[in-house]
Amino acid sequence: MSHETLENLLNETRTFQPSDEFAAVANAQPFIYAQANKDRIAFWEEQAALLQWDRHWDTALDWQPPYAKWFVGGTLNASVNCLDRHVNEGRGERIAFHFEGEPGDTRTITYAQLLTDVKKAANALTELGVKTGDRVAIYMPMIPEAAIAMLACARIGAPHSVVFGGFSAEALLSRIQDADASLVITADGGFRKGSAFALKPAVDEALLGETNVKKVLVVKRTGQEVAWDSDRDIWWHDAIDRASDEHVAASFDSEHPLFILYTSGTTAKPKGIFHTTGGYLTQVAFTHRMVFDLKPETDVFWCTADVGWITGHSYVVYGPLINGATQVMYEGTPDTPHKGRIFEIVEKYGVTILYTAPTLILTWMKWGDEFPLAHNLSSLRLLGSVGEPINPEAWIWYNLIIGGGRCPIVDTWWQTETGAIMISPLPGVTATKPGSAMRPLPGISAKVVDERGNPVEKGHGGYLILDQPWPSMLRGIWGEPDRYKDNYWSKFDGIYFAGDGAKLDDDGAIWLLGRVDDVMNVSGHRISTTEVESALVSHEAVAEAAVVGAADAMTGQGIVAFVILRSGIAHAEGDELIQQLRNHVAKEIGAIAKPRQILVVAELPKTRSGKIMRRLLKDVAENRAVGDSTTLADPNIMKLISAGLRNSTPEE
Ligand code: 6R9
C-alpha cells in the first residue's frame, strides 16, 4: 500500500485583507520580511538591541547543532527589562495588571508597585537561602503573586519551574525532583468554578517524597485552613513585609537559564524544556510587539493563558512586561458565575487585544451567541489564537461574533520548545485565510518537508520543520541531553522536527494539521484529524469535534468522530443527524474521509491547557482499556464516552 503524503483535501478559499486604516499605523510593515531575509542574524541583533543590556554581546550566534547560544558574552537582567526600565524612564504609574479574582475582587497594579513587590520578593528569596542557579518551583493560582514570584526568581538568577496549579501532588513531586528545586512558592489555594480549591495540601503531600526542598513560601489567597510545618513553611506576606524594597539587580549572562517548564506530558515522563535569557527575551518581546501590534500607551492586552503554560510565560509575563503593556489577569473559569464572564471583563476594562485558545472559542460557540452579544465588545481591535489548529468555522465565528468583523485574527503557531511565536500572520500586512497560520515570521525559517527531508511542492503536505536556529529556542531537556537529540533532531539530521504535520496551499500558506501521530491512514490515504474535524465543525449543528483513526480490518484505519452539538440550533436527530454529518464530510473533503462512526458526546477529553487527548479516544474506539488519564481536566469524561460508544452501532 503506497503511503501518500498528507493530502490537501479540505479547500478553504476565503481571504481577509487587512484594512487600510489598520495597515497605515501597524507596527509591522511589509519590508521587514525582506530585511530579515537579507541577513537573519543582523535582523535578530536589531531586535536584541531593543532590550537593555549591561554588557553588549561579542557574537550574535554560536551554532553547534543542535546547540545554539545567542548574543554570546552579553549580560542583562530579565526583571530589569520588565520593570526597572519602565520606572526609570518615567512609566512607573502605568498600570501593569488589572487583576480580577473569580469572586469579583480586583487589584490595580502599576509598574512601580510591581517593581517594589518584586524587589521585596527577591530580597526574601535571598534571605531564605536561594542563590543564583538554584531552582525554585512555583505552584500557584492565577494571581499577581505568580508573576511576582517568577520575576523575583529571574531577578536573582534562580531559574523557575512553574507547575500548573491543576496538577496533582504526584506530578508536582516528579517535577520538583527532576529540577532538584530547593524552594517551593505556593498559595493556600485559589478560586475556581465558584469555590476555593486548595493547593497547600498537595505541596505537603508532594514533600513527603524525597526532595531537597528546604522552605515553602505560602501566599494567603483564600484564607482556608492549612496544615503548617513551622520549620519549613513561611507566609509570603510575613517574608515580604519584613524585606527591604531596595534591591540592585545583578547582571547575568545571556545564556543564563531563565526557566524550566515541563511539557504537559500526555505521554511518558514529562520533558523539562529549558530556556535561557537574552535570546528568549529578544524573541518574546519582538513577537509580542509585532504579532499583537501592541501600542503600549493605549492598548489593554489580555492573554487568557495560565502562567503554568508557556503561553503564560511568554505572553503574560515576559513579552508584555518588556513592552510596557497594560494587561488583564483573571483568576477563574469562563463560566463563573455566568457564561458571559469573559465578555463582561472585556467590556469592563476595555480590552483591545484578546489572545485565547480554540478550545475556549469552540466552547463559546457551543454556549450560544447570546452571551457575547449581551456585552459591548467594541474596544477589541485584534484577536489571537494559540494551542491547536483553529477550524475555519470557529475562525469565522471568532471574527464575526467576538471581533464584530473588524478585528484581524492572528493564528499563532509555536510550542513550549520554540519559546515564542514562530508562524503567524502579521496584522496589517498579511491577508489571512481562516484556519491557516499563514507563514513564518521574519527571522524564522520553517518548512514543510517530505519523508526524506525535501521541501514539498505547493498544494502538498508533510512534516513541519525548523531548519535555522532561532533566539528563543529551547536549549535542551533539563538533565537529558540524549533525549533532546533523539526527540527533536534525529528525524532529519541537524534539523528541528516539531512533531506537527502541515500542508502548503497553492499560495504557499501553511496549514497546521495536528501532531503527526494523529494522522490517520485510511486505505493508504493519509488524512489529518484536523481536516475532518474542520469539516464536521463547518456543519451548523456541530460546535466541536474530535476525530481519531481506529484499527480497521478492511481499511487499515477507520475514522471515528466524537462531536459536541451547538445549543439553540435546530437540527435532525439520531441516525438522521449522523447520516447528514457523514454526508457533509464527504461533500467537504471526499468520500474517503467519511467517518465510520460518529458519536454525539457532551464533553471531550482535554488536558488542562485545552488540548484534546486523542490517544484516550483512540483507546475507546479500539475497545481498549483507557490509558493514563492523569493529565485530564475532568477524569469522569472518559467513562461517559466509553459507555456511549458501546451503545452506538458503527455504520456499514
Ligand atoms: C504554545 C503552545 C505545542 C503544540 C504544537 C501544535 C499545537 C500550538 C497552534 C498549534 C495549530 C496553532 N499548536 N499552536 N497547532 N495551530 N496556532 O501551545 O505550546 O503547549 O507546547 O503545544 O500545540 O501541535 O506542536 P505547547
Which strand ranges, in their side-by-side order, compose the sheet holding 183-187?
233-235, 215-219, 183-187, 136-139, 160-162, 257-262, 272-276, 476-477
Round to whole Å and give the CA distance between 161 and 174.
12
Share of the chain above pLDDT 90, in %: 80
Domains in the chain: boundaries: 519-646
pLDDT of residue 264: 61
Overall fold of domain 519-646 = GMP Synthetase; Chain A, domain 3 (3.30.300)
Q: Is 414 in the pocket of ligand 1 (CB under 6 A)?
A: yes
Round to whole Å and give the CA distance between 444 and 189.
41
Q: Is 386 in the pocket of ligand 1 (CB under 6 A)?
A: yes
Q: 505572553: which residue's cell?
A: 315
Kindly report whether the global pTM for this prediction surpasses the value 0.75.
yes
| Tens of pLDDT, residues 49-74 | 999 999 999 999 999 999 999 999 99
Round to whole Å and give the CA distance between 437 and 421.
11
- Ligand 1 centroid–CA 388 distance in Å is 5
Which strand ranges, in their side-by-side order, compose the sheet holding 300-303?
106-110, 95-100, 326-330, 300-303, 353-356, 382-385, 409-411
pLDDT of residue 523: 79
| Tens of pLDDT, residues 71-116 | 999 999 999 999 999 999 999 999 999 999 999 999 999 999 999 9
The alpha-helical segments, DSSP class H, found in 248-351 are 278-291, 310-312, 319-322, 341-349
The pLDDT-based confidence of 552 (bands split at 50, 70, 90) is confident
pLDDT of residue 9: 55
Lowest-pLDDT choice from 136-150, 210-224, 282-296, 551-565: 551-565
Nearest to 614 by CA among 499, 519, 488: 519
Task: Report, as an integer, the average pLDDT of 462-484.
Answer: 96
| Tens of pLDDT, residues 583-596 | 999 888 888 889 99
Q: Is 529 in the pocket of ligand 1 (CB under 6 A)?
A: no
Question: Which atom of ligand 1 is least distant from the CA of 499?
Answer: 25
For residue 303, pLDDT over 50 is answered with yes
Round to whole Å and give the CA distance between 503 and 512.
7
pLDDT of residue 623: 83
The answer to whether 566 and 368 have CB atoms below 8 angstroms apart is yes
Question: Which atom of ligand 1 is least distant from the CA of 530?
Answer: 11
The answer to whether 438 and 291 have CB atoms below 8 angstroms apart is no
Task: Report, as an integer, the average pLDDT of 122-148.
Answer: 98
Question: Which atom of ligand 1 is least distant from the CA of 514?
Answer: 24
Q: Is 314 in the pocket of ligand 1 (CB under 6 A)?
A: no
The pLDDT-based confidence of 638 (bands split at 50, 70, 90) is confident
Q: What is the mean pLDDT of the chain?
A: 93
Q: Is 533 in the pocket of ligand 1 (CB under 6 A)?
A: no
Q: Whose CA is nearest to atom 2 of ligand 1?
A: 415
Q: Whose CA is nearest to atom 10 of ligand 1?
A: 388
The pLDDT-based confidence of 521 (bands split at 50, 70, 90) is confident
- Ligand 1 centroid–CA 628 distance in Å is 21
